[in-house]
Chain A
Amino acid sequence: MSRAALLVLADGRFPAGGHAHSGGAEAAVKAGRITGAADLEEFCRGRLHTAGLVSASLAAAAALGVDPVELDGAADARTPSPALRIAARKLGRQLMRAGRATWPSAELDALAGRFPKGAHQPVVLGVVARAAGLGADDAAYCSLYECVSGPASAVVRLLSLDPFDATGVLAGLAPELDVVAQRAVEGARCAVEGGVGVLPAGGAPLLEIGAEAHAAWAVRLFAS
């Protein structure tokens, strides 16, 4: 395992399409739920413990070698909003392209062939992590970090938030991220024996509802 490979995969500039998505932040800003750094922190904390935990456990399970087709079904079951499913598959497809170009692997080729229009992003992330020689915990960390860093950088653009404040929010959440990463990996390990049904299934209804509303806007900066 290479620690540097983790930096490559976790880098916000890894060209996998994330820059065009706000992780629900644009909808929350418009609704007045995020107006500054303090709200951003609460928003990210909520995301971390709900959608974040679910995504990270899917990624970790894929990194452990759990069948990605079953994991994709599990991701669908945990994503009620059609708009979020579409966004997750789009991002999965983009990550697949970047992952295959960066760490060519037969497993990635097979997954791309099975889902030509994209599997759920966390599932692809786990298989990419495997291809990069990374482990389940690395996949969980990547997934959780992008679950909070995406909204943070989007809010810098949407509210002209001081970028140092946004980065401070991420640093402040780091200890919690460690805890959630551990839970995600534990959940993934259970799924190796117990099947994908035992993976965490927490949800954030406001994120789902916000995503549906956002997808219908005529004018928006971010794709989701």
Chain B
Amino acid sequence: MHLDQGHTHDGPVAVSADAHRADGRRRALRIGLGGPVGSGKTATVAALCRALRDEWSLAVVTNDIYTREDAEFLLREAVLPPERITAVETGACPHTAIRDDISANLEAVEDLEDEVGPLELILVESGGDNLTATFSKGLVDAQIFVIDVAGGDDIPRKGGPGVTTADLLVVNKTDLAPYVGSDLGRMAADAKAQRGELPVVFQSLRAEGGDGVEAVADWVRARLAAWAA
């Protein structure tokens, strides 16, 4: 080899979950948002960006399945400056990119930290997927699973790794419950049975005068405080 060893970055570059970057600085907290197609992941990411962007330095990675819709929505809504939003292509298999082969997402995260850092929080939105899709611990520090009331009020009962193990379960679009005949009490009881002490938030990003994303934002703030400590 004719390479100059002096230029190497050794150490954490190859270790995805390491809390420090190659330059020794503490990396950003990484939170994954997963869940079925259309449940409100992007809407939640957008609302979180608006709620948190003045308090924390943050960025977003989206994993669209076959378009750049999510990234483009966030850009259009101007929730963050464009250089803080990156899209990863997932080859028809969104869960592979967040669980089995996380390299493209890790690169997106590291590039964001290199190019717009220092960052305190990176939100990683998965492509819409099935109930078994969860994030690797090598990619995120905590994950939020977003379902909605319109997908059927039996989803919490069906369980699956997303519903049962996510650090936070969000049941979105509660404003639609009366129209689709979803029983929120039953959803809450089923979620409790599946998740034990793990938290569940019911939210609507549409309801007039409601709290919107505030409960989820508070949960993220608590995570950030713990990460920074």
Is A221 interfacial (CB 8 A cutoff)? yes
Whether B66 contacts A94 by the Cβ 8 Å rule is no
- Tell me which residues from 158 to 213 in chain B have a Cβ below 8 Å from any Cβ of chain A: none
Contact of A97 among B90, B91, B92, B106 (CB under 8 A): B106
Minimum Cβ distance to chain B for residue A8 (Å) = 14
Number of contacting residues on A, CB 8 A? 39
Report yes or no: B2 in contact with A67, Cβ–Cβ below 8 A: yes
Interface presence of B83 (CB below 8 A): no
| Also in contact, A112 and B9, with CB within 8 A (given A20-B90, A219-B66, A221-B91) | yes
Inter-chain contacts of B120 with A (CB < 8 A)? none
- Size of the chain B interface, CB-CB below 8 angstroms: 31
Bound CA–CA A97/B93 (angstroms):
20
Which stretch in B11-19, B36-44, B73-81 binds the other chain?
B11-19
CB pair B14 A111 closer than 8 Å: no
Alpha-carbon distance A21/B88, docked complex (angstroms): 12
A15, A93, A116: the one within 8 Å of B100 (CB)? A15
* Binding stretch for chain B, among A36-44, A100-108, A163-171, A182-190: A100-108
Contact mask A110-123 → B, CB, 8 Å, 1/0?
11111010000000
A-B pair number, CB within 8 angstroms: 103
Interface residue from B2, B8, B15 paired with A112 (Cβ < 8 Å):
B8
Instruction: Give chain A nearest CB distance to B92 CB in angstroms.
Output: 4
Determine the chain B residues whose CB is within 8 A of the CB of A33 once the complex forms.
none
Interface centre among B1, B91, B92, B107 (most CB of A within 10 A): B91
Q: In the bound complex, what is the Cα–Cα distance between A111 and B7 (angstroms)?
A: 9
A19 and B93 form a contact (CB under 8 A): yes
**Can you name 28 A-B pairs with beta carbons within 8 Å?**
A15-B100, A15-B101, A18-B101, A20-B97, A22-B91, A68-B1, A69-B2, A69-B3, A90-B104, A90-B107, A97-B106, A101-B14, A101-B15, A101-B16, A109-B9, A110-B4, A110-B8, A111-B1, A113-B5, A113-B9, A114-B3, A116-B9, A157-B92, A218-B68, A220-B66, A221-B65, A221-B91, A223-B89
Q: Which positions in A face B, CB cutoff 8 Å?
A: 13, 15-22, 65, 67-69, 90, 93-94, 97-98, 100-101, 104, 106-107, 109-114, 116, 154, 157-158, 218-223
Task: State the B residues within 8 Å of A (CB).
Answer: 1-5, 7-10, 13-16, 65-68, 89-93, 96-97, 100-104, 106-107
